[in-house]
Structure 1
């Protein structure tokens, strides 16, 4: 049954909220487990829908997967022989399924991965993934809706320069090249903490990866890898979500498990809004002192710049800030779908190309709205907290893909946020 979030406005978030492992890392680490025969154990895995989907994909490839969501443990038993086809019904629901491309080509010499769907935030083609695999010696083509990569004689190290520091392409080059013959040098690599997390796991499996977290990564291929145990890095996007939620609601929130060093650009803007940010023994605290935020400009950029995944939250915070701000989206052309829903709540915005001008209002007004993706949905729930009356956010399944126990976390901070059937009367 379809569900929605019911949000009663008026809450100022107060208290502490835990952050689990990063969705954007856990899924890629699960895929990387394919590189070694045996049982790999991941801890600090978030209890989200996307992990369930990735587990099912690995099972279809022949793995045994045990996922204990309450404890955050995933154990993946990889057989000697694995399949190499990722079907459309799973890939359409989980774009991160493309992370199996590199491991499957490296292990089996072939990968058939359906062209993905995923969030409605703009085109995110696989050209860079394909170019990276081709540079390593794979033959790559598209047929019947599948990206097919073949390397029957194995892969060989190469000099690769990415035209754009794509996270997904960087990950697939990493996971493909660890078993390639010779050395691979990857230039203009993505620098996200999730890339560092993947490299650390690969090295614990016996890989030889250096430079992760910089724009140049070198990978010396090895003959085989071994299974490992690895704790997933903290989810910086979830941590940033709660930081901007505090800003929007004039609250004080300690983000337990958050790593402020992974959010430098975002937390600079939190401070620009007038809030204080302080590290704590368990994470960091955002304190607005109960004051209305000052409007702040945002421009999304690849890491270490401001994350595009946090742009909807900056929009929501600026919608009720004092003053006007410009939000510039440099990465995904359709990420402004959040704007039309915020306008339904009474936000004053104007889109001009890849910019949005936002003039803050004192309060928004509750109304039914709809989530188009994970972050848009969570941002609309936050907007509902600063709206008069009741807001309903349809598409709860989107939020479930990225946040474990979102309603419960909100309740723990003093918000009136509940789930209900999507056909319930709007009151």
Structure 2
């Protein structure tokens, strides 16, 4: 069964939404529980598809996962960790890329790991070569088998000196999860330093890991023999917060995002203010609203932290279709992230995508025939259309475009959005959106 969202646009979104733990942290913190010899407790856990997938994968490997019915907190007990059948792993993983991060913890816990051929959002190659190379440097043996990859370490994992050619979040997580119990010292240069990475380090430190972060993107991990459990409240999802902020701007609405954190969103907040969005920053969240009048065009480049996040780009591009003038957006993180603009153009947006680097400096996608720069002219009146969701952030961006458009839109493939947006249809209903959901075979 799949769902179709029929949206009647033109209604400003107003009200309050609550944002819980970050999609880019919670599943990784759940995986980290495998490293301990005691139960761990993870709080502020969102009800999203990725959490369900990791819960299933951990349970397959013998981890007991108990959810508190009132708070939603998870207790994860890895004491009975075991090998799982490869077919079961494949069936439960679906299109998630999380299984690759179980490798290091599983090798420490049971001596081996199997990862199925991986899926994920179609926004770029996102190769797992970084992960496999990292594991090999730790001493792992990587074997291609039917349906996936088997990884073992007959002599155990040992510390390594690792240099990432690009500050990949996933590869940095792989190093952290593999190195904490590896024998010796690991030095990782070129590491990602996103807030979710720092929060994962906080989780591991609570378990007994010894990890230091240097100012030059170098992370040093001193391996320890054993780790305990943790009790941790996940940081809020800054990507979901930014998406609702853009939704307020696009629909000329007013949304208070409970749980939005100024500390983790400073670059976004600066950009939001430059566009002309209004905000009131409080202790428990941030109010985002359209001030009235014209929005301002921007020249913007995405980058790794502390730059402007690539996940913030797509919802903001929808807002820029309503800005008065020409905006330029240069995507430097994922090479194919402008595929979602095809639907916006069909809805009436004026967007041109280019192969050239339309930014202050050439990026790694220049001269490689990737359409990774966009020129957006506005304001344009968006009109309802039939849309099929391409990926997580692009899908939410299509939703807010449909909510702002005149007329009716039919949006299919919305199940993808459940991967990272907790109960998003309930939240839309609470904000006054006019829509219906129907199921089709």
**Contact 2:382/2:401 (CA < 8 Å) preserved in 1?**
yes
Q: Distance in 2 between matches of 1:293 and 1:343?
A: 19
Seen in structure 2, the aligned counterparts of structure 1 residues 406 and 303 have a Cα distance that, compared at 3 Å, is: same
1:204-240 CA-to-partner distances (Å, cap 9, x unmatched) read 1111112189611111111111122211111010011
SS at 2:208 equivalent = coil
2:267 to 247, 265, 268: 265
d(CA) in 1 for partners of 2:340 and 2:228?
Answer: 44
Measure, in 2, the Cα distance between the counterparts of 1:339 and 1:362: 14
SS in 1 for 2:25: helix
Q: CA deviation at 1:303?
A: 1.3
Aligned pairs for 1:74-93 within 5 A: 74-83=74-83, 87-93=89-95
Q: Match of 1:210, SS?
A: strand
Per-residue Cα deviation, 1:353-385 (whole angstroms, up to 9, x for no partner): 211211123420011111011111111110011
**Between 411-420 and 216-225, the greater mean CA deviation after superposition:** 411-420
Aligned counterpart in structure 1 of residue 153 of structure 2, from 151, 154, 165: 151
Corresponding residue for residue 379 of structure 1: 397
Distance 1:394 1:81 in 2: 39
2:110 — aligned with what? 108
Q: Larger deviation: 16-25 or 242-251?
A: 242-251
Residue of structure 2 in register with 1:170 after alignment: 172
Q: Which residue of 2 aligns with 1:99?
A: 101
Contact 2:100/2:131, CA 8 A, preserved across alignment: no
Structure 1: where are the runs of 5+ without partners? none
Check 1:232–1:332 CA distance in 2 against 1; reply closer, same or farther (3 A cut): same
Partner of residue 280 from structure 1, selected from 279, 282, 307: 282
1:331-358 deviation digits (Å, cap 9, x = unpaired): 2222122111112211111121211211
For 1:207 and 1:104, locate their aligned partners in 2 and report how far apart those are by CA, in whole Å. 17
Structure 1 position 66, deviation (Å): 2.3
CA distance in 1: counterparts of 2:293 and 2:413, whole angstroms = 31
Judge which range, 101-110 or 171-180, deviates more. Answer: 101-110
In structure 1, C-alpha distance between the alignment counterparts of 2:54 and 2:416, rounded to whole Å: 15
Distance 1:288 1:308, change over 3 A: same
Who is 1:368 aligned against?
386
1:84 CA displacement: 5.9
Q: Which runs of 5+ in 2 are unaligned?
A: 356-371
| TM-score relative to the length of structure 2 | 0.91
Confirm or deny: 8 A CA contact 1:191 1:212 kept in the other structure. no
Contact 1:191 1:213 in 2 (8 A): no
Hey, what does 2:47 align to over in structure 1? 47
TM-align CA RMSD: 1.9
Match of 2:366?
none
Q: Is the 8 A contact 1:6 1:419 kept in 2?
A: yes
Listed one character per residue, the Cα deviations across residues 72-122 of structure 1 (whole Å, up to 9, x for unaligned) are 322222134422666333334211222212211232332221231111111
**Paired residue secondary structure (2:332):** coil
Aligned partner of 2:28 in structure 1 is 28
- 2:142 is aligned to 140
Tell me the distance in 1 between the aligned counterparts of 2:81 and 2:394: 40
Alignment match, 1:320 = 322
2:186 to 184, 190, 194: 184
Q: How does 1:281-360 map to 2 (within 5 A)?
A: 281-353=283-355, 354-360=372-378
Q: SS of the counterpart of 2:52?
A: helix
Secondary structure (helix, strand or coil) at the match of 2:257 reads strand
Q: Secondary structure at the match of 2:340?
A: helix
